[in-house]
Amino acid sequence: MHCIWLAEAFFSRARLTAFVAQIFLLVLCVRRDSCGAFALFGVAGFAFCLIFGFDLTYLNWLRFKTAILIFCIKAARSARFQTKDATMMDKRNFFKNLGLISAAGATAGLAASASAAPKNSPLAGRAVFNVLDFGAKGDGKTSDTAAIQKALDAAGEAKGTAYFPSGAYLCSGLKARANSALAAEPQWGCRGVAGAVLRLENPSADSLLDITGAFGVRVYGLCFQGAASGSASAIFLNNASGLGSQEDCASVENCKITGFRGDAVRLLNARLFALRGNLFAGNAGAGAALAGRGGLVSGNRFSANAGGGFVCRDSGSEVVFSLNRVDSNGRYGLEVADGCDWNITGNSFNRNLGPGLSMRAVSNSAVVSNVFRANGRTDSKDRPQEASCHALMTGCRGVAFASNSAMAGRGASGKGPYSPLFGIVARD
């Protein structure tokens, strides 16, 4: 600790000494009109930058110092410094020119900072392409599909990121590229939409964003808003055509997806995917629908989706489903069919219309440490009585169901009949 303190004290004192030396040289330049002092001032600036850096990024501060040095060298070579009878550059002009250089350097720094991402940002280390620079308006009225697609193509070429500032972007049928990202600062909440909102322009489109074949793609911080008609999904992947043997490595993180008539996220023949920290709410289809294997679904909220929370209708395996809140969905909270190797841990299943969990022909899986409350509502005459349960297991083998907590309850208003009728229903 003493060594660290001494090192910090040394660098702080050395930084102050170098800065004072530059101020002294600057005063010497003005008072004596010395071309040597001008050059020395620029060299000292380089040394200060190389050794200690400054508040701006290294590149931008170096650019600023370079401008100062070039100015000093030009001034030293001018005839006004070489001829005694010539009129020397007066102090006012010197500070005027130096001020212009400073303004140019500071402006360049701010512009670069707007494009560069913070070190702790998910955009750090990537080439960033602002969709506004490609002609997108983000005003909620103008079609931005073509402009955004140009940004996605550029990000794909550079293996970089298409960045969306706050705004409402009308678009549909977008195609993501491999090893790229679509990103924004997540500003949405449970109510309403905010931040960068991608609003479905064409309800008859299959999806707003197609990530088929976009191996390694990352979607981060965006808000997707659907339309009142059609059957489009927000994000769609289908690697059935010769792509299924590859691992997708696709991830959707910190996004909100709401108001779509189809499944919010639909992944077909997907391998190795991640859904983390998202909100899937108020969609006519499922919050997310899967046919594939090798996935992580964690920290999401699936709420009020008519087609169910998370649905694996055909086949799915090797999925970790953990730490999710699954509430108020139609049909089931989580539906798994014809799969194996599921790890369902630490979730909350609350007030879903059907069973909180439905497993059909599932093997070698674990359902551990989940909380079930008031699932399987009893106020509907259209469902069989056995559907009023927390967990429905049909034709399952080798499924461990342990350390879960369950209780009956009423609706959110605290009124109406208690549900469910049964805790766990298991059948062949």
Q: Return the closest-CA partner of residue 331 out of 352, 312, 348.
A: 352
Q: State the pLDDT at residue 320.
A: 98
Alpha helices per DSSP H over 116-189: 145-158
Q: Return the closest-CA partner of residue 271 out of 307, 244, 251.
A: 244
User: Looking at beta carbons, which pairs linking 250-253 to residues 24 or more positions away fall under 8 Å?
Assistant: 250/211, 250/214, 250/215, 250/216, 250/217, 250/218, 250/219, 250/274, 251/217, 251/218, 251/219, 251/275, 251/276, 252/219, 252/220, 252/276, 252/278, 253/122, 253/218, 253/219, 253/220, 253/221, 253/277, 253/278
220, 340, 244, 312 alpha-carbon torsion, rounded to 10°: -60
Low-confidence ranges of the chain (pLDDT < 50): 1-11, 27, 29-34, 38, 52-64, 67, 69-73, 75-116
Residue-range domain boundaries for the chain: 2-115, 128-427
Tokens of 292: 């594939």
What distance in Å separates the CA atoms of residue 352 and residue 387, rounded to the nearest whole number?
11
Half-sphere exposure of 94 (CA within 13 A, CB side): 19
Give me the residues paired with residue 422 across strands.
389
**CATH tag, 128-427:** 2.160.20.10
pTM: 0.72
What distance in Å separates the CA atoms of residue 85 and residue 87, rounded to the nearest whole number?
7
Q: Are the CB atoms for 260 and 233 separated by under 8 Å?
A: yes
Give me the residues paired with residue 319 across strands.
295, 342
Angle between helix 91-115 and 2-32 (nearest 10)? 140
Q: State the pLDDT at residue 184.
A: 97
Q: Return the closest-CA partner of residue 341 out of 323, 368, 317, 360.
A: 317
Q: Are the CB atoms for 215 and 238 separated by under 8 Å?
A: no
Q: State the pLDDT at residue 237.
A: 94
What distance in Å separates the CA atoms of residue 165 and residue 56, rounded to the nearest whole number?
22
Q: State the pLDDT at residue 313.
A: 83
